[in-house]
Structures are given as C-alpha cells and as structure tokens.
Structure 1
C-alpha cells in the first residue's frame, strides 16, 4: 500500500497546541474523492487537505479541502497550513507569491517574515442581514436583538454570516444554541477595550459551525470576510490583530492588513507531526 507524506500543523499560533490543527496529505494525485473523504473523516479534524499538481498552469499546487463530512471550496487555516507544508517539502513558487488552486479559483499566498498570509478572496455574498435573521441570531446566542450592533453576510465560500457585539466580555460569555440557527455558519466579532482587555489584539472572534454548534478554534475564512466588512465599513483600521479561541483554551492570532485593493490575512504555522500515511 502506498505511503504519502503526512503532516499535522497548528495554524494561527506560534505556540504549539494553541491554534487550529490541520492535517495535510501531500502527493495526493492518485487518491479518489472517496479516499480523501474517508481520510478526513478518520482524522476528525475540522479540515484535512490534499496537495496535488495543479490543473491551472498559473498555480503552484492544487489543494482540496475536506471536513469530516464534505468538501469545501475554500478555507483560511487550511490555505496557510497547506502552503507551509508545501514549502517545507522543498517546493518553490514560480513567482514572488505562492499561487494556490482550490475550489474558489486561485488564491495568492505571500511570506511575511515568519508568517504566511493569503489574499482574501472575493465575497460570494455580502450585504445587510435581514432583520428576522438578526433576531434569530440574537436568540441563538441568548441575547436581545439590541445586543447585535451590526450584521453582515461575509460568505467567501463556507457560507458565513457575521454579527458584531458590543464587547469582548459579552462575546466570551455567549452560549450558542444551534437548534435556533441550525443551517447557518455564524461568526461573532467584538472590539477589545484597550483599558480592560489590553492591546495585544483589537477584536475578539468566535465561530460556530453546523447543527451541533461546534466552535472552530481559529477561522481564516471568517476572519477574511470580517476584514472585508469591517475595514470596508470603517469599523476597523486598515491593519489590526484579531484574537480567537480563548473560549476553547486556545490563543489564536490573526494578522490583517489592507494593501492597495487586497486584504491579507496572516498567521504563524508550527508543525506538530511529520511522517507518512498509508493509503
């Protein structure tokens, strides 16, 4: 049975075990969809990725992203983790940036010192959230509708809708009831208060996914959509740090920066496991 390179990395943290884990299988050209889905189901991580040769000549590699149940067209921490592994295996990009091919098309990744950052892909859905859905979001997090200061669709593939609360303290106290919002991927964001929360980050983020209401530790795709909304609406400066994962005992840090027309979403990646997988 063939053995393929296998890594498990921690994304959006320079400290091991404090970010969001990702499994990466390289040289996956010969794997079938069923094999990839089975492996993703077995790792039981939020995402497992599979690296192969690109179909688009402009790309450096192709990545397919699987949850334990299905394939995603794009996700942020799998983008950075996959790129880190691709580079660690000795590959080099054709140009100054790494070009990743995935379900949403080509995604640019750049090296920013010790970090990697991806250019936020275009939103598939944006704009205001209907008042009845805002009220439903508020009920799902156990708050009154007036607690939601703003809401916006921020969908760049996974289907995110986002809501802003008034404070980090309020956000960290949220208890999400997925039965009240069963078919929506919900992102929550709130500003840090410098006097109370410090200045290590400017926003706190939480993400809830699926009918079981699973909380994602650190979420690149959500943070990309949030950045496009918050910076575009003047609710955030052109450069900021978002913290995510505190409610789960993690310490994720997402570094956001607007440069020209691009918004770059970056973070650190550390390797936890390196070896092979038998398929």
Structure 2
C-alpha cells in the first residue's frame, strides 16, 4: 500500500534561507511504524540525497511527544544533531503546536530533551558522550588524508555517531584544508568511525571556532553544518581546556560549501554534573507531500 505523507525540508543552523544544513522530514504520525519498512525509509533517504532524512512516528513512551528515525543516504543513525533540531521544528508545524518551551523525543539512544527559546531557537541536551584516544595508525592516516598536523591528540567522541575530533592551529588552517576523501573514507571504514570533525580556534579563543565535518564513509564527503559534530567538538574542547564553569561555545561552519551556519553549544556544569547541548535557528524551506 502506498501512502501520501506530509513532507517538509527544513534549513537548520540559520535564519537565512539556503545558508544552513537541510534535513528532509516525513510525517508518519498517522500511520504505524510497521506500515513502512526500514528498506523503504532508506530508499527515501538515498533519493533525497541529503546528509540526513528523518521520519516522525507516534511514540509509545509516555514522556515523549514523538519518535524519530534518522537515515543518511547509506545507513540509519541512532542520533544526529541538525536532524533533531529540524525535526522538532517540523513537528511543531505539522501539529500546530505553539507556546511550548520543552519537547521530548524518543530516539534510538533514549529520550532526548529539546528546548525552544522565545526567539525560536531550538536546542537539545545530548546523551552522555564518551571520549577516548585513537590508534596511532588511525591518527597518522587522518593526518595524511588532511595534509596537516593536529595541535593536540585526536580523540574519538561517541555522541551516537562516532566522530574523531582533529584540532588544528587556527580557523584559517581549518578552512583551507582540502581533504583526500578516498583516504578519509578508507581510514573511517577500517576503524568503524562515522567520520572526522576538523576545527580551529578564531584568534586564539577558547570559545569561538570554525568547524568542518567529513563523513565520506556515510556517503557525505562534507556535511554543511553538523550538529552531532558540534557536540563532539564541545566534548573534546571540555576535555582539552578543562572548563571550570558553564561555558557557551560559538561555532561557524559551511563557508567552503557556500553556507553560513551558526551553532551555539554549551558545556553546563552544575555542582558535579556536566552536560552538553547544541542548538540554533531553523526555518522551513519546502512544504509538500511524498508518496511512499
């Protein structure tokens, strides 16, 4: 049976059309999850050819407003950053929900809390993020594929996607790198990494960074503006700089792809509890339907 389902394409981490990172969102609230297969959802994600495509279902979790499924052109992901924000924006519009400050989404990593500011910015609190070193062979391979050296040891950060964070001397160095995507893909596949987050500080700042996200092993050579990558970078920076109080980090991304993404992340330190969040603006570009 074919279904005609509501469809939106939302531009995330921007308030200027076509300058952020688009996510396709399909509204499946009026069908059950067993009425559409993972194979069908993967086919749609391959067709949209965006870094991610999401599907909204009713959640059986009493706390959650909806359930999300997230697909790259090649695989399903347990969590991804800009799709979380764009899907929340789409859900609010699909359901005509207004004047809310909190939403809860069921994901493959559990319940995700989202906050909606009075300005319309949407952010979400990340699950705990593990950080660890990587093999010397992997580090050397990434250096060769990027053609530059890090200023600190690259580390693997698990935020759903498994990002290796690679910090270079400054924002200009980050912006100017021309990766060998075939080598990047090869290294990522060998070590089962999602990809690599490259970042450099602006004018020596500890809180302002240029970032780029490379995931050729997932079918995305360079993601325009990457939410999960910003969480991985923020976790890495906290490990590197040892922030002692709640700190906001401002990240720009996408210039090499003609975008102008702006991400706000936060390291929240309350007594002995530390958490991480990421967020920004989102605007709907396309409204329509899709036949599946």
How far residue 158 of structure 1 moved from its aligned partner, in angstroms, is: 1.5
TM-score, with structure 1 as normaliser: 0.89
1:87 counterpart = 2:104:
no
Q: Is the 8 A contact 1:40 1:68 kept in 2?
A: yes
Superposed CA deviations along residues 179-231 of structure 1, whole A, max 9, x for unmatched, are 3332241111110117xxxx9x8100011112466100011011112112212
Among residues 115, 120, 127, which one is paired with 1:121 in the alignment?
Answer: 127
* Structure 2 counterpart SS, 1:273: strand
Distance in 2, matches of 1:91 and 1:41, equals 29
Q: Count matched residues.
A: 270
Aligned residue number for residue 9 of structure 2 = 8
Provide structure 1 residue ranges, at least 5 long, that are not aligned to the other structure: none
The CA deviation at 1:96 is 5.1
Instruction: Say if 1:205 and 1:235 are closer, same or farther in 2 by CA, change over 3 A.
Output: farther
What is the rounded CA distance, in whole Å, between the counterparts of 1:220 and 1:99 in structure 2?
18
How far apart are residue 91 of structure 1 and its match? 5.4
Corresponding residue of 2:283:
270
Q: Secondary structure at the match of 2:79?
A: coil
Cα distance in 2 for partners of 1:267, 1:8 equals: 16
Is the partner of 1:150 in helix, strand or coil? coil
The corresponding residue for 2:165 is 162
Q: Does 1:151 align with 2:164?
A: no
For the residues of structure 2 that align with 1:149 and 1:192, how far apart are their CA atoms? 16
Q: CA contact under 8 A between 2:216 and 2:222: conserved in structure 1? A: no
Kept in 2, the 8 Å contact 1:8–1:271? The answer is yes
Map of 1:73 onto structure 2: 78
Give unpaired runs (5+ residues) of structure 2: none
1:4-37 Cα deviation digits (max 9, x unpaired): 1100010011111011011000025332212211
Contact 1:99–1:107 (Cα < 8 Å) also in 2: yes
Q: Separation in 2 of the partners of 1:235 and 1:17?
A: 36
Do 2:165 and 2:236's aligned partners in 1 also have CA atoms closer than 8 Å?
A: no
Q: CA deviation at 1:134?
A: 2.0
Whether the 8 Å CA contact 1:154–1:222 is kept in 2: the answer is no
Which whole-Å CA distance do the structure 2 matches of 1:37 and 1:180 have between them?
26
- Partner residue in 1 for 2:253: 244
1:44 and 1:73 map into 2 onto residues whose CA distance is 19
**Measured at CA, do residues 245 and 235 of structure 1 come closer, stay the same or move farther in structure 2, by a change above 3 Å?**
farther
Greater CA deviation, 254-263 or 106-115?
254-263
- The equivalences for 1:10-89 within 5 A come to 10-27=11-28, 29=32, 30-89=35-94
